[in-house]
Amino acid sequence: MNTHSTPLDLRLPVPGPAFGPYPERKPRAPGALKSWLMAHRVFAGNAPQRGFVSRVRLAQTQVPALGSDDFKTRLAHLRAELGLVGLNGTVLEQALAFVLSASQTALGVELYDTQLQAARILLDNRLAEMATGEGKTYAAMLAAASAALAGVPVHVVTANPYLAARDAAALAPLYHALGLRVAAVTPTDSEDQRRAAWAADVTYTTPRDLIFDYLRDRQRAQAGSADAPPLLRGLCMALVDEADSVLIDEARTPFILAEAVADKAAQRRWRAAIAAARRLQEHRHFELLHAHPRAKLTALGTGACPAEAGPMRDPLWRHDHHRAELVETALAALHLYRRDEHYIVQDQKVEIVDPTTGRVTPGRRWAAGLHQFIEIKEGLVPSPVQRTTAQLSFQRFFPRYWRLCGTSGTLSEASTELSQAYGLPVQKVPLRVPSQRQTSCEYLFASDEVRWPNVVRAIVMHHSAGRPVLVGCDSLADADHLCRLLDTQNLKFQRLDARQDAHEAACIAQAGERGAITVATRLAGRGTDIRLGDGVAALGGLVVIDAQANGTPRVDRQLHGRCARGGEPGQVMRLQALDSAFFVQELPAWLRSLLQRRAAARYNKDLHPLLARALRVLLQAQAQRRERQQRRALLQHDQDATRQLGFGGRSE
């Protein structure tokens, strides 16, 4: 590596003398001016030069036959040259040409020019917005393989363990043809298996597995432990699939490494608090703040929770402020967190359901006793007190990578926050062919009682015409209700929700067959293509019925993007209700009641489409502002917690 003429930021981050045995960038935020320029797409970084795609295609024609001696010789020479000059110029074009040629032979896949453009954006440390169905997985493969050829350890971060294992296995022939080793890290792997997987040239993993293994490495390093080598080889390059979901939506929750602590007094406090909370009445003793979400005791409610109602010898229970906080948390558990919406009970454990994706997040726990209160509410044995040993948010973790990039179909709306939090500009990749998606009129009904029969009628209408239908529901409870209604119509359907997470890809892959009906809860099968069955395109393609009330237009686009992929036809219908959780949370009760009366007065018991759309846009903007504030507060809290842990001699 030419260490004398190339600045450190531009050289290839690999474990070794220049970057150390465990490469990691010191976190730093971009300047305000650069953030503004990136967010408004004035700053384009190293934008692909004119003629880049044609030069790569020309170089591809000159690549020797895969597996030939000439191929191996030229590949070895290319890898040495990449190590010297880095991922730029002619040598990068040649690397991409080799990967393209190998994909043709090893995978039987002919990649598109738009995927090549996206790969270049990724290798320039930017975010590539590619519409759903445009081939993000292969674009990421192009970038990952090219960087790995240069000797950079690459982490491809994807939505769940199934997708990580699937992509690593499916793309293994390509990587092996280029002399690279690929592996996947999954939650069930042992420590030795994880260490071996992290040692691969390209490792597919989930955000959770990645950040927890990093925290374990930090703890060992700070403790001076030499009993085992680190799990990871450092933070050289990360390529984040569904980058907005990971870097924005999941950034509202810190990742906490904790250890169980025996505390019988805490168990007594929890049971006393939830017993007290069950005796209280809403509006008289407490108010529910749905937007936050939390409960607030009134003066009368505070007086109704005396110290005598719990463990008298417990100093924390006898402390008025601490006792009130416990009861308020218990009230939130009882009234604001609902089974089959915010969590499920599985194998005698409370498993949190991610509010954006609808997927179960195994091992994740609510803090401040909330998780234990929900366990008691569900009749389970409360889990032990957890003492935090390390804590880190995504906003502080991912900027530690020397090279960071990612893809998603919905990045534009979050471009400002992505540039401010991570220093990542967003560049949109043009559609390979024009979109044929049609969006029908927007319906906002007075209540679920009116909405669901209309949803069923829409399903029956399109199903009778032979068109496949995908319905996006807000929660497991909504999906259960819709499925019962479909049963009464003797309609066959598939369920796709947090309970069927392991079968997600197989289920969604069949959603485009003629006459198929799929009921999905939030996740809508991200990461898996919906291929239209024979003759379905001629009927108008897949119909997506949006019965979700989403807090951001990005989630709208994620669901709507399940249809009309790659130039195919498709249709979107919005059918929502004013008493769904989103509108209950965002609208004052008096205004919601007024709108419901106005909707009920119309012949179809819905608001005028223009009013419905305007209301949705305003409420989504309100929700997005609040969530940005929550992420900023989390970052500040994470920094404060790190300082406190540091004073205690612990990591992060």
pLDDT band at 36 (very low <50, low <70, confident <90, very high): low
What is the spatial distance between Cα 302 and Cα 285, in angstroms, rounded to a whole number?
7
Q: Are residues 186 and 271 in the same domain?
A: no
Does residue 548 sit within a domain?
A: yes
Q: Are residues 47 and 87 in the same domain?
A: yes
Query: End-to-end distance of the chain based on CA atoms, in angstroms?
Result: 32
Q: Are residues 107 and 223 in the same domain?
A: yes
250: helix, strand or coil: helix
Q: Are residues 459 and 415 in the same domain?
A: no
CATH number at residue 368: 3.90.1440.10
pLDDT in tens, 594-635: 999 999 998 889 999 999 999 999 999 998 888 888 777 777
Does residue 390 sit within a domain?
A: no
- Of 176 and 415, the structure prediction assigns the larger pLDDT to 176
Does residue 229 sit within a domain?
A: yes
Q: Are residues 276 and 138 in the same domain?
A: no
Greatest extent of the chain over all pairs of C-alpha atoms, in Å:
84
Residue 27 pLDDT > 80? no
Q: Are residues 247 and 272 in the same domain?
A: no
Q: Are residues 404 and 478 in the same domain?
A: no
Q: Are residues 236 and 358 in the same domain?
A: no
Q: Are residues 59 and 136 in the same domain?
A: yes
CATH number at residue 106: 3.40.50.300
Give the number of domains in the chain: 3
Residue 42 pLDDT > 50? no
Q: Are residues 403 and 475 in the same domain?
A: no
pTM, entire model: 0.84
pLDDT score, position 525: 47
Domain limits for position 287: 263-383
pLDDT in tens, 122-159: 999 999 999 888 999 999 999 999 999 999 999 999 97
CA dihedral sign, ordered 260, 265, 271, 275: negative
Averaged pLDDT, 322-336: 93
Q: Are residues 204 and 284 in the same domain?
A: no
pLDDT score, position 516: 95
Residue 213 pLDDT > 70? yes
What is the spatial distance between Cα 307 and Cα 69, in angstroms, rounded to a whole number?
81
Least confident window among 235-239, 270-274, 303-307, 385-389: 385-389
- Whether 213 contacts 392, CB under 8 Å: no
Q: What is the mean pLDDT of the chain?
A: 86
Interior/surface letters 456-472, b for 16+ CB within 10 angstroms, e for the rest: bebbeebbeeebbbbbb
pLDDT score, position 68: 93
User: If you count DSSP H runs as helices and E runs as strands, how many of each does the chain have, helices first?
Assistant: 25, 19
Q: Are residues 347 and 406 in the same domain?
A: no
Mean pLDDT is highest, among 1-15, 191-205, 560-574, for 191-205
pLDDT band at 169 (very low <50, low <70, confident <90, very high): very high
